[in-house]
């Protein structure tokens, strides 16, 4: 094996991405938990934690640029760096969306939800599972797992449709529920976006391993 | 690529130096007016391969060849091929700039002169055209009677390119043309290759993978005398098919 | 380790200093020998050297007058030797380096060249007498003497040319061949011009050897003190003149004067060789 330091750096970048993925996953999980429990404190922790995530994401980007500039990666290394730059963006956007959810939790405060939250935590659970699963695909360079993961996005999309319709019905029935319902619509929308980002990551993993550019949603 | 665009093609080319086999069953199509890069670790046979095309290996004792090298459809190893004409049509630029120890003018005029051009006016024209084509005229146009060896390494290499252009070849073989040059001179030669490919078919052997990636349209990867993979350069460097190609270009060798 | 250090009689520093002192002394000794030879000859000879010594003919067997015919004689002999040894030597060198197949015959030729260089000059002189003077009937003449000198310096010329041709890089030859040049075109237009400084230097150094040679010309060039009118006439070369002046006890002063002139000529030739080499190297930009 030659260029040892270079290859160590490449391994390190992968580990940094996995770390960022964990951080983003925790944000999503915590923000939805906080929403369900009206836990403003927990929501604020998510908002505060975002700075650390942005920091870590910036570090990944810098490392990638440095590898490109100094090591001229080729072939699968080049694809890995390219994929990481995209995945990095997706993960960073995912945690931003978690922050948005947390902000809504803060805005709602103690005000009771207009209905028991069932589908939204389900969406969050699927999104987090997708994230875990695609991170595993990334770390194992496993395109099959990435393909399989991307399929879960359909469930999230279906749930989003269902939640949205339900909330619209509630709003039509009782205009007083509009404030809370529109908040929840946004949360559902954010989770749906998180699912899309997870799907993007699946695409990046497939490209990274095979070189094929695929559309999975 | 259509077959009518193939200028040179090696078919099942084998080469031995004594009992050591340096090329094993190499078959590569070289497209007209394109740059084809040959990459691979030292001793993989890439230089040996291009030296088969203009039959420079003829000079080496104990060198034996089987298979074909077709140039415009005709095997260059056929009995009645005139090597002088072949080498006039397939020029070569070497690793180390090798201008002759004579004036700049005489260096360029050397080829035309040995091929029978004597008229001063004609030679003047060839010298000027060649130097211009090699992007050297602006630098040396006024000092044509100066010794070529006074030029910088990069200028010398462009002079060697001009010298090759002066005999009006169809193909130019570059054997690691930049390995002795600094990055700026290298960039100039690379720019030049990009321009020259409009008029010439170019084959370049290089140790520098980035250079192959920058200048070539097609790339062939050699390993231990075998041609492992051949394809479009963008494919070879983004998603090579063969594992050993990938290992080589990502630096995971040995 | 420490035992080894203790058993050493002199410290490494001392050994080093002694060694460099010895080496320095050897170098100085060489220069001193040269200087004392030059010094003695010039000191003893300078007294008789003037324009008339250089340009007059000798009188009374050389006891009086000058050494002009001997200078001319030497120059003529050397000229014939160079003009013949040059082309033959270069030709042989080109053949041996570029054309000769790597076989027994070639090795024998190379070996022959080595042997020729080793033949004592008196033997070459005798052979010259038998072959050139008697057998070919050239008599005692510039031609006989010059050709005999050529036999002597030929191996040096061949070897110097071979070395010079071998140092022409293969890159240059390849460059020429790749342009479609034939082997002969390449040799004539690229190899030989590049090798010229080396060849010239070799030939000139051969000249330096030839100019001081006595044994070879003694039996071939004659010892006439008259100015020659053609290459078929005998001449007396400067070293031979010097030998006669000294051995016959004609005039010590004249002998030293001649020796000083001879020495001057040899030094001049060596100096010229170095200058030519420097000049070519500077002009072509070659740095070896």
The pLDDT of residue C4: 52
Residue of A75, A77, A208 to mutate, testing the B interface (most B Cβ within 10 Å of its Cβ): A75
Total domains, chain C: 2
For residue C183, tell me if it sits in a domain: yes
Q: Indicate yes or no: CB of C284 within 8 angstroms of CB of B149.
A: yes
- Strands laid side by side in the B20-31 sheet: B20-31, B6-17, B63-71, B74-75
Q: Is the pLDDT of residue C270 over 90?
A: no
Other Cβ atoms within 10 Å of A85 Cβ, number: 15
Of C178, C180, C286, the CB nearest to B149: C286
Encoded tokens for C64 = 């009086």
Strands C58-59 and B90-93: unpaired
The pLDDT of residue C226: 83
The pLDDT of residue C13: 86
CA distance between the termini of chain A: 39
Q: Is the pLDDT of residue B215 over 80?
A: yes
Of B54, B102, B114, the CB nearest to C185: B114
C-alpha count within 13 angstroms, C-beta hemisphere, residue C273: 19
What are the C-alpha distances in Å from C26 to residues A38, C16, C268, C284?
Answer: 100, 16, 26, 36
Q: Which residue of B has its CA nearest to C287?
A: B149
For residue C110, tell me if it sits in a domain: yes
- Which chains have at least 3 CB atom pairs separated by less than 8 Å from chain B? A, C
Rg, C-alpha atoms of chain B: 18
Judging contacts by C-beta atoms under 8 Å, the chain C residues touching residue B177 are none
**Domain span at C28:** 14-48
Sign of CA dihedral C202, C204, C208, C214: positive
CATH number at residue C235: 1.10.3720.10
In angstroms, the CA C242 to CA C236 distance is: 10
Q: How many CB pairs under 8 A join A and B?
A: 39
Instruction: Tell me, yes or no, if A1 comes closer than 8 A to chain B by beta carbon.
Output: yes
Q: Residues 118..147 of B with a Cβ closer than 8 Å to C: which?
A: 147
Q: Indicate yes or no: CB of A78 within 8 angstroms of CB of B253.
A: no
C37 and C65 within one domain: no
For the purposes of burial, counting CB atoms within 10 Å of the CB of C266, is it exposed (0-12), middle (13-18) or buried (19 or more)?
A: middle
Q: Is the pLDDT of residue C283 over 80?
A: no
For residue C5, tell me if it sits in a domain: no
C161 and C233 within one domain: yes
The pLDDT of residue B94: 94
Instruction: Tell me, yes or no, if B114 comes closer than 8 A to chain C by beta carbon.
Output: yes
In angstroms, the CA A9 to CA A3 distance is: 10
Q: Which residue of B has its CA nearest to A74?
A: B250
pLDDT in tens, B16-73: 999 999 999 999 999 999 999 999 998 899 999 999 999 998 888 889 999 999 999 9
The pLDDT of residue C46: 86
CA distance between the termini of chain C: 44
CATH of domain B3-249: 3.40.50.300
Domain edges within chain B = 3-249
Contact between A123 and A9 under an 8 Å Cβ cutoff? The reply is no
Residue of C102, C167, C178 to mutate, testing the B interface (most B Cβ within 10 Å of its Cβ): C178
In angstroms, the CA C212 to CA C205 distance is: 11
DSSP labels, chain C? -HHHHHH-SS-HHHHHHHHHHHHHHHHHHHHHHHHHHHHHHHHHHGGG-SHHHHHSPEEGGGTEE--HHHHHHHHHHHHHHHHHHHHHHHHHHHIIIII--SSHHHHHHHHHHHHHHHS-HHHHHHHHIIIIIIIS---SSHHHHHHHHHHHHHHHHHHHHHHHHHHS-HHHHHHHHHTT--HHHHIIIIIHHHHHHHHHHHHHHHHHHHHT--HHHHTTT----SPPSSTTS----HHHHHHHHHHTTS-HHHHHHHHHHHHHHHHHHHHHHHHHHHHHHHHHT---
Of B61, B96, B148, the CB nearest to C171: B96
Rg, C-alpha atoms of chain A: 19
Q: Residues 64..83 of B with a Cβ closer than 8 Å to C: which?
A: none
Residues 6+ away with beta carbon under 8 Å from A73:
A10, A67, A80, A81, B250
Specify the range with the lowest mean pLDDT, choosing from A120-129, A182-191, C73-82, C203-212: C203-212
In angstroms, the CA B187 to CA B154 distance is: 10
C-alpha count within 13 angstroms, C-beta hemisphere, residue C59: 6
C107 and C86 within one domain: yes
- Which chains have at least 3 CB atom pairs separated by less than 8 Å from chain C? B
The pLDDT of residue C225: 80
Domain final position from C30, C48, C66: C48
| Average pLDDT taken over every residue of chain A | 95
Encoded tokens for B104 = 């700049």
ipTM: 0.89
Choice between C88 and C60, residue whose per-residue pLDDT is larger: C88
For residue C211, tell me if it sits in a domain: yes
The pLDDT of residue C167: 87
Contact between B102 and B173 under an 8 Å Cβ cutoff? The reply is no
Q: Indicate yes or no: CB of C171 within 8 angstroms of CB of B147.
A: no
Residue closest to B37 by CA, chosen among B152, B176, B136, B141: B176
Q: Tokens 């060896």 map to which residue? A: B149
pLDDT band at C1 (very low <50, low <70, confident <90, very high): very low
The pLDDT of residue A212: 92
Specify the DSSP class assigned to residue B172.
E
Closest CA of chain B from A208, distance in Å: 10
C273 and C184 within one domain: yes
- Percentage of chain B beyond pLDDT 90 is 83
In angstroms, the CA B110 to CA B99 distance is: 11
Q: How many CB pairs under 8 A join B and C?
A: 77
Q: Indicate yes or no: CB of C180 within 8 angstroms of CB of B167.
A: yes
Closest CA of chain B from C160, distance in Å: 20
The pLDDT of residue C50: 84
pLDDT in tens, A136-148: 999 999 999 999 9
C41 and C70 within one domain: no
Q: Is the pLDDT of residue B4 over 70?
A: no
The pLDDT of residue A1: 57
The pLDDT of residue C287: 42
Judging contacts by C-beta atoms under 8 Å, the chain C residues touching residue B101 are 172, 193-194, 284-286
For residue C124, tell me if it sits in a domain: yes
Contact between C143 and B76 under an 8 Å Cβ cutoff? The reply is no
The pLDDT of residue A196: 97
Q: Is the pLDDT of residue C286 over 70?
A: no
| Average pLDDT taken over every residue of chain B | 92
Contact between A127 and A98 under an 8 Å Cβ cutoff? The reply is no
The pLDDT of residue C14: 87
Q: Is the pLDDT of residue C3 over 60?
A: no
For the purposes of burial, counting CB atoms within 10 Å of the CB of B182, is it exposed (0-12), middle (13-18) or buried (19 or more)?
A: exposed
Q: Indicate yes or no: CB of A211 within 8 angstroms of CB of B246.
A: no
Query: What's the rounded mean pLDDT across residues A189-214?
Result: 96
Other Cβ atoms within 10 Å of A68 Cβ, number: 14
Which residues is B16 bridged to in the sheet? B21, B64
Which domains does chain A possess? Answer: 4-210 (1.20.58.220)
In angstroms, the CA B151 to CA B165 distance is: 19
Q: Is the pLDDT of residue A40 over 50?
A: yes
Residue closest to B109 by CA, chosen among B58, B148, B81: B148
For residue C8, tell me if it sits in a domain: no
pLDDT in tens, B130-188: 999 999 999 999 999 999 999 999 999 999 999 999 999 999 999 999 988 888 889 98
Residue of B59, B100, B157 to mutate, testing the C interface (most C Cβ within 10 Å of its Cβ): B100
In angstroms, the CA C10 to CA B148 distance is: 56
Instruction: Tell me, yes or no, if B234 comes closer than 8 A to chain A by beta carbon.
Output: no
Contact between B164 and B177 under an 8 Å Cβ cutoff? The reply is no
C138 and C22 within one domain: no
Judging contacts by C-beta atoms under 8 Å, the chain A residues touching residue B210 are 72
Contact between B146 and B103 under an 8 Å Cβ cutoff? The reply is yes
Closest CA of chain A from B249, distance in Å: 6
Contact between B180 and B97 under an 8 Å Cβ cutoff? The reply is yes
Q: Do chains A and C touch (3 or more CB pairs under 8 A)?
A: no
Of A76, A210, A211, the CB nearest to B250: A76
Instruction: Tell me, yes or no, if B252 comes closer than 8 A to chain A by beta carbon.
Output: yes
Q: How far is CA A104 from the centre of its chain?
A: 18
In angstroms, the CA C258 to CA A69 distance is: 77
pLDDT band at B98 (very low <50, low <70, confident <90, very high): very high
CA angle A87, A93, A96 (to 5 degrees): 145
Host H or E run for residue A95: helix A75-108
Closest CA of chain C from B21, distance in Å: 23
C56 and C36 within one domain: no
Rg, C-alpha atoms of chain C: 24
C193 and C84 within one domain: yes
Closest CA of chain B from C39, distance in Å: 42
pLDDT band at C284 (very low <50, low <70, confident <90, very high): low
Judging contacts by C-beta atoms under 8 Å, the chain A residues touching residue B246 are 75-76
Instruction: Tell me, yes or no, if B159 comes closer than 8 A to chain C by beta carbon.
Output: no
Residue closest to B146 by CA, chosen among C283, C229, A68, A105: C283
C144 and C35 within one domain: no
Spell out a b/e string for C54-87, using b for 16 or more CB atoms within 10 Å of the CB, else e.
eeeebeeebeebbbbbbbbbbbbbbebbbebbbe
């Amino acid at each position: 094996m030659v260029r040892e330091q270079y290859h160590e750096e490449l391994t390190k970048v992968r580990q940094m991405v996995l770390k960022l993925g964990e951080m983003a996953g925790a944000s999503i999980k915590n923000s939805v938990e906080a929403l369900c429990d009206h836990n403003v404190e927990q929501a604020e922790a998510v908002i505060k934690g975002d700075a650390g995530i942005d920091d870590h994401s910036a570090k990944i980007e810098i490392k990638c640029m440095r590898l490109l500039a100094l090591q001229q990666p080729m072939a699968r290394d080049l694809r890995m760096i390219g994929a990481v730059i995209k995945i990095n963006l997706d993960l960073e956007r995912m945690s931003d969306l978690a922050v948005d959810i947390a902000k809504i939790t803060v805005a709602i405060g103690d005000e009771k939800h207009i209905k028991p939250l069932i589908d939204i935590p389900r969406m969050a659970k699927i999104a987090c599972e997708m994230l875990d699963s695609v991170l595993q695909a990334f770390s194992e360079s496993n395109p099959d797992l990435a393909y399989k993961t991307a399929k879960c996005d359909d469930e999230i999309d279906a749930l989003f449709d269902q939640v949205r319709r339900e909330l619209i019905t509630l709003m039509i029935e009782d205009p007083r529920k509009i404030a809370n319902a529109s908040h929840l619509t946004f949360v559902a929308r954010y989770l749906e976006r998180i699912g899309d980002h997870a799907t993007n990551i699946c695409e990046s993993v497939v490209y990274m391993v095979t070189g094929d550019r695929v559309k999975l949603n | 690529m259509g077959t009518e665009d193939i200028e040179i093609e090696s078919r099942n080319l084998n080469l031995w130096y004594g009992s050591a086999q340096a090329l094993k069953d190499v078959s590569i199509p070289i497209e007209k007016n394109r740059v084809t890069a040959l990459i691979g670790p030292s001793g993989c046979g890439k230089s040996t391969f291009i030296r088969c095309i203009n039959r420079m290996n003829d000079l080496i004792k104990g060198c034996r060849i089987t298979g074909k090298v077709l140039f415009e459809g005709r095997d260059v190893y056929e009995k009645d091929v005139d090597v002088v004409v072949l080498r006039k049509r397939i020029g070569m630029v070497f690793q180390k700039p090798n201008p002759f120890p004579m004036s700049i003018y005489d260096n360029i005029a050397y080829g035309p002169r040995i091929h029978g051009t004597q008229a001063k006016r004609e030679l003047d024209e060839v010298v000027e055209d060649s130097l211009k084509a090699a992007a050297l005229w602006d630098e040396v146009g006024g000092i044509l009677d100066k010794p070529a060896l006074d030029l910088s390494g990069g200028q010398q290499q462009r002079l060697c390119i001009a010298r090759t252009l002066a005999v009006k070849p169809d193909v130019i073989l570059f054997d690691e043309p930049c390995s002795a040059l600094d990055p700026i001179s290298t960039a100039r030669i690379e720019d030049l290759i990009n321009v020259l490919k409009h008029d010439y078919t170019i084959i370049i052997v290089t140790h520098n993978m980035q250079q192959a990636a920058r200048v070539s349209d097609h790339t062939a990867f050699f390993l231990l005398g075998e041609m492992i993979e051949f394809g479009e350069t963008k494919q070879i460097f983004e998603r090579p098919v063969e594992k050993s190609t990938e290992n080589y270009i990502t630096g995971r060798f040995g | 380790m420490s035992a080894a250090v203790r058993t050493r009689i002199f410290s490494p520093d001392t050994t080093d200093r002694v060694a460099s002192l010895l080496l320095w002394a050897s170098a100085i000794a060489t220069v001193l020998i040269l200087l004392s030879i030059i010094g003695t000859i010039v000191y003893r000879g300078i007294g008789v050297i003037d324009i008339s010594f250089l340009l007059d003919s000798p009188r009374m067997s050389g006891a009086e007058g000058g050494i002009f015919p001997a200078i001319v004689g030497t120059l003529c002999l050397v000229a014939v030797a160079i003009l013949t040894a040059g082309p033959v030597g270069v030709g042989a060198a080109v053949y041996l380096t570029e054309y000769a197949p790597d076989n027994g015959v070639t090795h024998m030729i190379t070996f022959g060249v080595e042997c020729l260089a080793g033949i004592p000059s008196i033997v070459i002189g005798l052979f010259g007498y038998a072959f050139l003077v008697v057998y070919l009937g050239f008599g005692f003449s510039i031609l006989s003497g010059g050709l005999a000198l050529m036999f002597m310096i030929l191996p040096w010329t061949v070897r110097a040319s071979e070395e010079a041709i071998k140092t022409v890089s293969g890159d240059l030859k390849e460059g020429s061949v790749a342009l479609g040049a034939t082997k002969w075109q390449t040799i004539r237009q690229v190899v030989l011009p590049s090798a010229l400084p080396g060849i010239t230097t070799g030939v000139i150094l051969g000249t330096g050897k030839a100019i001081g040679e006595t044994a070879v010309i003694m039996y071939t060039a004659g010892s006439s003190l008259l100015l020659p009118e053609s290459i078929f006439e005998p001449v007396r070369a400067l070293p031979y003149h010097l030998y006669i002046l000294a051995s016959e006890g004609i005039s010590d002063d004249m002998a030293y004067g001649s020796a000083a002139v001879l020495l001057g000529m040899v030094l001049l030739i060596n100096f010229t060789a170095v200058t030519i080499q420097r000049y070519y190297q500077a002009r072509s930009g070659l740095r070896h």
